[in-house]
Structure 1
């Protein structure tokens, strides 16, 4: 009975110490991320333009949605915005899904024992180490319809009869962006999954080997449930990157309306149209989409894990 006050005092001391250690990080995050976000939200409520930020006037939510003379105006009334939203969601779903599958395959292969395994692990990380702008430019040359090595190889294999202008068509251009993104970021996914595989206990695998259980069944019944937390973190990180994709699409396809993402749309309003108000509104909506999706994934994962723990 006397241990409870001591334990509660110890818990309070630990919580207080945790907040003390977290305080500098929170202050830095507030200065680096909080202030620009708050400023962007404020500009989204004004009629600010790039050349006269100091003269911005408060106009409420007109940049988001407003009915003027019988016509709906604002970012939410722009069909290009909704096309960019669905295109970005499609890109994130396809690219992250492919990266998860391929990353799992690569991680399982690198987790096996074979000669020069360390060298192979280092080589696999090269695409991820290359800056995105550089890799996008390299792939734009490779996909060029006149001198690109991709067309040359496909024609040599007899798969196509004439060079394909990959970036001239919206469908092929978007798939080309997905391929480049998968090529670059699959090593990142594989690295996180490999780290989780390295932490797994070996006794359960030895017992399964002795019992003669098929490796595929061991993977789905043992390996996958054990690495699920690390896999969830990897998926969240990659989904965040995919939803705010900008540099890859902009370098490969520029301002093409058929491949425009939410970030490219916001950049067009901010820089080319110099409409800071609507550009900030688009940026704020992008932040809200990413925040809601991330929160949903985290809550669903927590509920699923709590339900499994309860059973």
Structure 2
């Protein structure tokens, strides 16, 4: 007879205020045989607060391969396991997603429980559109990868959400200003805690604030999406830049200015007079 498999429960934990935990999560944490925690010290405080005594196993970014295999083994042996992060919903910007994939690969039942999430909490109080949004989490550490992501979001008309740490927030805002301009942002920190704070303003204003005071706490950065008018303006500038590049290319190939302008005008469906005007303005 095949061994009955355990279940992997995804249990959201408070992002600050310990009262922000569901009755169902507390029930599951008391019933499972093992709790897999991002930081066992943090989870132990939560467990002590609610009088929960269960074995803890460490599972985080730096041991996810080895510990992930151990957790899957426990599940295959028929033991129920609860996965928690330090704060919020496991699987969001943490290695929980990899454990979920591994469990699904072994045909282990994954049971998600609803609960706190920092980016959702910040988003609904931002005042920006919640109808369509893009959650990006933490940017990669490599500069080229960070640059690529920000460049791809240049024309994004959805609300965009990032996470950032206190020691990198200023660098993030500088990159944001350089790549995406002086956009309107809402920056939330210490959510659900005594010193909860929402900053609302432009990227330049945020830089003034966080250069003048020491950033503390984990940050949720919410960026307002560009309007259709702004998108149209950006797209027009891109077309103009591309047109001028093509004109220069054809001039190097031996065409006259008149020939190059006529050819590019036809290729990109842009007015010859407008193209001549841009050339005279020296737009590059």
Q: Highest relative contact order (Cα 8 Å, sep 6+), 1 or 2?
A: 1
TM-score scaled by length of structure 1: 0.22
TM-score scaled by length of structure 2: 0.23
Higher strand fraction (1 or 2): 2
